[in-house]
Amino acid sequence: MRREGANRHHCDVDLVAISVSHRTAPLQLRERLALSADGATQIMGALVAAPGIDEAIALCTCHRTELYAATPDPAAARRVLLAALAGLAGATEPELLGHVHVLRGAQVSRHLFAVTAGLESMVLGEAEIQGQVRRALERARAAGTAGPVTGRLFGDALSSGGRVRSRTALGRGGASVSSVAVELARDAAGSLGGRRVLVVGAGQSGALSARALADEGMHVIVASRHRSRAADVAGDLGDAVSLAALPAELERADVVFTATAASGRLIGREAVADAMAARGGRPLVIVDLGMPRDVDPAAGELPGVTLLDLDDVDRRLDVNNGRRRMHSSEAAAIVAHEEARFQTWLASYGTAPVVAQLHEHAEAIVAGVLRENDLRWEDLTDADRERVGVMARTIVRRLLHEPTRRLRSAEGQAGADVALALFGLADASAEDTAAPASELGHLG
């Protein structure tokens, strides 16, 4: 959906991104910025419809919401991206500025490559982010908002993340948000073996949580809006129920895990209060991994209720990640090398149309000179004429080889502008291209 003007070159394109994550914003703000798949598609469409943005990709996980744009006008794109996030959060732009990272140019690729490698995750080296980045790219392609620049950016970041995980020990050991959440539940409830856990949500986080809790020896009940999906996740781990069974299951469970992408609270304070009244004084541990949160935070104020959320997980991870940081320098070196390759491609991409225009201009001159001298070579055979044409084009290609090589290695608009001016192509029209042929005179 890139909108190019008649005289715009690829080297007009720059990258801009805005990031809100667990490193910059509290959970209360992050949940207001959470995007469903449909929400991401809608916001990407609005971005590319705005002046100054040619391509857009939205990345939203439990811990971050990020908007990426390819643009000929970075200042305008920054304003559009910030306004989009502010509208999503229901906040003013000045209120949001203290909780965002605004990135431009190489900062954008360095950030995305680090994110995709798991170097910016709550769980250092976590593997889930790789799939989330891939789905963001696929969603943007399906919506028609990704383009050659953002597509290459995300594709190269995914390749880089794969190399980090295959060549380093950063992501080994199976640590995840779910496994850390189980640690927190164990600390709060004591031994988990033989106890009953209700897992609300049948997505990836719910499935990972259900498996980790079953490995602790817990009896797992999976609840979902669609009971069939709950049954798929429960499998041989336990039983499945629909959300209609939540009140009864809250009364029976020792531990509750929630991990949905619902837009509103699934479990209110009153529902928890009613369950506690029927439990005969048994305490209840609730771990809310939803984004936005699934459980009303006020439920944590009830006697006998321990309510934990992603901020509590983050605090535990600060301790656990220390064991993985010894591998992060090796991973960072791979990321830096791969990101530099992307920057090299981007510089070359920027000059590609100018290189093509230069060669087309030269070919037009050759064709014009051969055409003007055609009648003067009436004694030449067709084979001779072909040989003369091949020789002329070979001379041109050899003359242009070094300028082409240097132009492709140049960075930014400056090199392209010099080439356009040097060869008289800055304002060339079709008529201008043919004119130099006659100025060279006839051969013979």
Q: pLDDT tens digits for 354-401?
A: 666 776 777 888 888 888 887 777 778 878 878 888 888 888 778 776
Please give the mean pLDDT across all residues of the chain. 84
pLDDT at 7: 38
pLDDT per residue as tens digits for the range 333-353: 999 999 999 988 887 776 666
pLDDT at 268: 95
Contact between residue 57 and residue 68 where contact means Cβ atoms under 8 Å apart: yes
> Is the predicted pLDDT of residue 57 greater than 50, yes or no?
yes
Cβ of 273: how many Cβ atoms within 10 Å?
14
Peptide bond into 94 cis (omega under 30): no
pLDDT at 319: 63
pLDDT at 122: 78
| Percent above pLDDT 70 for the chain | 83
Mean pLDDT of 188-204: 91
Q: Residues 43, 62, 77, 255: which is the catalytic one? A: 62
- Tokens, residue 154: 């995300």
pLDDT at 39: 92
Q: Tell me if domain 10-172 and domain 177-315 are identical in fold.
A: no
> Is the predicted pLDDT of residue 235 greater than 70, yes or no?
yes
Among 352, 359, 361, residue whose Cα is nearest residue 429: 361
Q: Give the CA distances from residue 337 to residues 329, 343, 347, 424, in Å, rounded to whole numbers and listed in that order.
A: 12, 10, 16, 37
11 as an active site residue: the answer is: no
Mean pLDDT of 202-228: 91
Q: Report yes or no on whether pTM surpasses 0.75.
A: no
pLDDT at 186: 92
Residue 51: how many CA atoms within 13 Å on its side-chain side?
2
Alpha helices in 235-327 (DSSP H): 246-252, 269-277, 310-320
Sign of the CA dihedral 275, 277, 279, 282? positive
Name the fold adopted by 10-172.
Beta Polymerase; domain 2 (3.30.460)
pLDDT at 430: 36
Cβ of 422: how many Cβ atoms within 10 Å?
11
Mean pLDDT of 429-437: 39
Mean pLDDT of 46-50: 96
pLDDT per residue as tens digits for the range 278-314: 998 899 999 999 988 999 999 999 999 999 999 898 8
Q: Class of 177-315 per CATH?
A: alpha beta
- Listing DSSP states for 399-432 in one string gives HHHHHHHHHHH--HHHHHHHHHHHTT-TT--HHH
The structural domains of the chain, with segments of one domain joined by +, span 10-172, 177-315, 346-439
pLDDT at 171: 66
| Percent above pLDDT 90 for the chain | 49
Using DSSP, state whether 136 is helix, strand or coil.
helix
Residues 6 or more apart in contact with residue 83 via CB below 8 angstroms: 93
Rounded-to-integer distance, Cα 253 and Cα 77, Å = 49
Mean pLDDT of 18-26: 92
